[in-house]
Amino acid sequence: MTPLLHWLRRFNFIERARLERELWDAFERAEPIEQLVEQCEPGFRKEVWSTTALRIRKIERMMRDKPAPPAQDP
């Protein structure tokens, strides 16, 4: 693999992680993430946010359906 190709793949990974974190932060602030995705311009951000929104909602459903852990005594 050429050094340039390696660098581009690494940059893409870092940029994807940064964009995913942006959407997770919006979710944690209780912002409407689907609306954010819809308002996004077509391109890399929209691609990343679309897949991340699906994963967020899947995790949210899994956590909602899971029973709460028992309380621990201090």
Q: Which residues of 15-43 are buried (b: 16+ CB within 10 A; e: fewer)?
A: ebeebbeebeebbeeeeebeebbeebeee
The pTM assigned to this predicted structure is 0.76
Token pair of 34 as six digits: 């689907």
Q: Is the pLDDT of residue 73 over 70?
A: no
pLDDT tens per residue, range 16-65? 999 999 999 999 999 999 999 999 999 999 999 999 999 999 999 998 88
What's residue 68's pLDDT? Answer: 73
Instruction: Determine the Cα–Cα distance for residues 55 and 40; give it in Å rounded to an integer.
Output: 18
Instruction: Determine the Cα–Cα distance for residues 69 and 72; give it in Å rounded to an integer.
Output: 9
Token pair of 29 as six digits: 């602030």
